[in-house]
Homo-oligomer: A and B are copies of this chain.
């Protein structure tokens, strides 16, 4: 019996200490109601008496206030305590524990080299030309809501893990869509639904690349792809690009690569379209060496004055091609959906990897997207979105021509949601100054240098450059942003 009583007191003390700490943290703010003794007793699996003991101690110490018949509230503590914002409790753990040195794997250590995530800063800027962001105004709210509502209505009798390759309705909707939109033919079994193209890249790196393997990568190229391959321990070989995309003749001496990463429809960031001759050369190289080719078709929906370019995957010799698509540019980067189309011989390995990594992508988004594609709403949205971005692109090109003229050289404007801009009067070394000066004038401008594997790459023009994304801006903002940039350059250089 005595032991039981002691246990009760111990539990009450634990509840008391924990509640007190939460009040001091600000987790419970002044005047907040604490949970009822009944709820807390049920939650802790103890008697209400035990909770009441804890509450009474807090009352007697002045942390709580109580009126007859009402639930206890946190008292106004005065001084610093009440000034603490509710949502930002003190970092308790850091206080309680010594900040130990983390023991990380080589993968874990390699992550430290990348930049930390930063929230968008657009709010205070004249124009934020950050690439990858989309305008909320373009999002097809009504169609998406309808599709989500449809998906919510589906009530399975049993809730169980779904197919790691992805929800069948989505894969069977994507198969004809990919044909209509990109001329791409595949079996739904070849489609693997992933959480955005980032996960597609990571899966490919894990399934295909061992530490020390060589991976060919466009230079300049997509930083987050390079980081994935580097983190996998790959020896990333930078292959220069020019106006026709990857310079495939530079692959001739690369016999031992396991993988090449390319953006043939619209090279990121320079915008070249891989020529037919080079497409053949790339696939011949892959066939000869046994390397796989990841074709990242990240903005294949957006093309303006040019003919559509069928993906590499559609070519007869494409048995080693892994096609990667995303809805981050067509709908929203926050939905986290993308798709791989893999050769039949890789289906099993990619599905097993996806299962091991996170079982499958969330069913709700998958089913909503399937509904949107099947109803035609997705393609209607893409047509509308292509027109909006076409207007933005024209506004940007017109403003750059009118305001900056010969000061800049532009590449990659035929497709996609960004252009690469070279500043003819500024040397490479001036680039970071340009970015800083732009930010001081409330222009969000982003340097091109980080997209090169090495600052001293011979094929890198000795000029300052920027990647200017326009998909998140409205037309007047684009004009104002470019005008501000022009004023900056005029004052700086003239």
Contact of A27 among B99, B139, B179, B351 (CB under 8 A): B179
Shortest beta-carbon distance, A475 to chain B, in Å? 15
- Whether the pair B344, A472 counts as a contact (CB closer than 8 A) is no
Q: How many Å lie between the Cα of A196 and that of B160 in the bound state?
A: 13
- Whether the pair A334, B100 counts as a contact (CB closer than 8 A) is no
* Chain B residues whose CB sits within 8 angstroms of the CB of A185 once the complex forms: 18, 21-22, 92-93
Q: Mark A176-200, 1 if CB is under 8 A from B, else 0.
A: 1001110101111110001110110
- Whether the pair A183, B14 counts as a contact (CB closer than 8 A) is yes
Identify 18 residue pairs between A and B in the complex whose beta-carbon atoms are under 8 Å apart, listed by A's number: A22-B185, A27-B175, A27-B179, A44-B308, A102-B343, A102-B345, A103-B208, A105-B210, A107-B210, A108-B206, A117-B161, A145-B152, A156-B334, A159-B332, A159-B472, A195-B362, A198-B356, A336-B363
Residue A424 lies at the interface, judged by CB distance under 8 Å to chain B: no
Residue A307 lies at the interface, judged by CB distance under 8 Å to chain B: yes
Q: How many Å lie between the Cα of A199 and that of B353 in the bound state?
A: 11
- Whether the pair A94, B187 counts as a contact (CB closer than 8 A) is yes
- Whether the pair B333, A160 counts as a contact (CB closer than 8 A) is yes
Residue A89 lies at the interface, judged by CB distance under 8 Å to chain B: yes
What is the count of identical protomers in the complex? 2
Q: How many Å lie between the Cα of A363 and that of B121 in the bound state?
A: 19
* Chain B residues whose CB sits within 8 angstroms of the CB of A134 once the complex forms: 158-160
Residue A231 lies at the interface, judged by CB distance under 8 Å to chain B: yes
* Chain B residues whose CB sits within 8 angstroms of the CB of A364 once the complex forms: 148, 334-335, 364-365
Residue A58 lies at the interface, judged by CB distance under 8 Å to chain B: no
Q: How many Å lie between the Cα of A108 and that of B40 in the bound state?
A: 48
- Whether the pair A101, B472 counts as a contact (CB closer than 8 A) is no
- Whether the pair B159, A111 counts as a contact (CB closer than 8 A) is no
- Whether the pair B227, A45 counts as a contact (CB closer than 8 A) is no
Contacts A195-B359, A336-B363 known; 9 new A-B pairs at CB < 8 A: A106-B210, A135-B158, A160-B472, A198-B359, A202-B357, A202-B358, A224-B356, A336-B361, A336-B362
* Chain B residues whose CB sits within 8 angstroms of the CB of A14 once the complex forms: 183, 310
Residue A254 lies at the interface, judged by CB distance under 8 Å to chain B: no
Residue A303 lies at the interface, judged by CB distance under 8 Å to chain B: yes
Question: Which positions in A face B, CB cutoff 8 Å?
Answer: 7, 11, 14, 18, 21-22, 27-28, 35, 40, 42-46, 87, 89-94, 96-108, 111-112, 114, 116-117, 119-120, 122, 128, 130, 132-137, 139, 141, 144-145, 148, 152, 155-164, 172, 175-176, 179-181, 183, 185-190, 194-196, 198-199, 202, 206-210, 213, 224, 227-228, 231, 258, 290, 292, 303, 306-308, 310, 316, 319-320, 332-337, 343-346, 348-349, 351-353, 355-365, 379, 383, 472
Q: How many Å lie between the Cα of A382 and that of B452 in the bound state?
A: 51
Residue in A106, A179, A181 whose Cβ sees the most chain B Cβ within 10 Å: A179
Shortest beta-carbon distance, A150 to chain B, in Å? 12
Q: How many Å lie between the Cα of A180 and that of B35 in the bound state?
A: 9
Q: How many Å lie between the Cα of A234 and that of B294 in the bound state?
A: 28
- Whether the pair B202, A356 counts as a contact (CB closer than 8 A) is yes
* Chain B residues whose CB sits within 8 angstroms of the CB of A308 once the complex forms: 43-45
Contact of A160 among B132, B158, B179, B336 (CB under 8 A): B132
Shortest beta-carbon distance, A206 to chain B, in Å? 5
- Whether the pair B22, A176 counts as a contact (CB closer than 8 A) is yes
Q: How many Å lie between the Cα of A310 and that of B10 in the bound state?
A: 13
Q: How many Å lie between the Cα of A336 and that of B367 in the bound state?
A: 14
Q: How many Å lie between the Cα of A490 and that of B119 in the bound state?
A: 65
Q: How many Å lie between the Cα of A402 and that of B40 in the bound state?
A: 36
* Chain B residues whose CB sits within 8 angstroms of the CB of A42 once the complex forms: 383
> Considering the complex of A and B, which 3 residue pairs feature the smallest CB-CB distances, nearest first?
A111-B352, A108-B207, A199-B358
Q: How many Å lie between the Cα of A148 and that of B365 in the bound state?
A: 11
- Whether the pair A179, B18 counts as a contact (CB closer than 8 A) is yes
Q: How many Å lie between the Cα of A345 and that of B94 in the bound state?
A: 9
Contact of A100 among B7, B40, B316, B319 (CB under 8 A): B319
* Chain B residues whose CB sits within 8 angstroms of the CB of A27 once the complex forms: 175-176, 179
Q: Which residue of B lies closest to A362 (CB)?
A: B336
- Whether the pair A344, B133 counts as a contact (CB closer than 8 A) is no
Q: Which residue of B lies closest to A15 (CB)?
A: B183
- Whether the pair B120, A158 counts as a contact (CB closer than 8 A) is yes
Q: How many Å lie between the Cα of A188 and that of B85 in the bound state?
A: 14
Q: How many Å lie between the Cα of A195 and that of B357 in the bound state?
A: 9
Shortest beta-carbon distance, A19 to chain B, in Å? 9
- Whether the pair A343, B97 counts as a contact (CB closer than 8 A) is yes
Q: How many Å lie between the Cα of A133 and that of B92 in the bound state?
A: 36
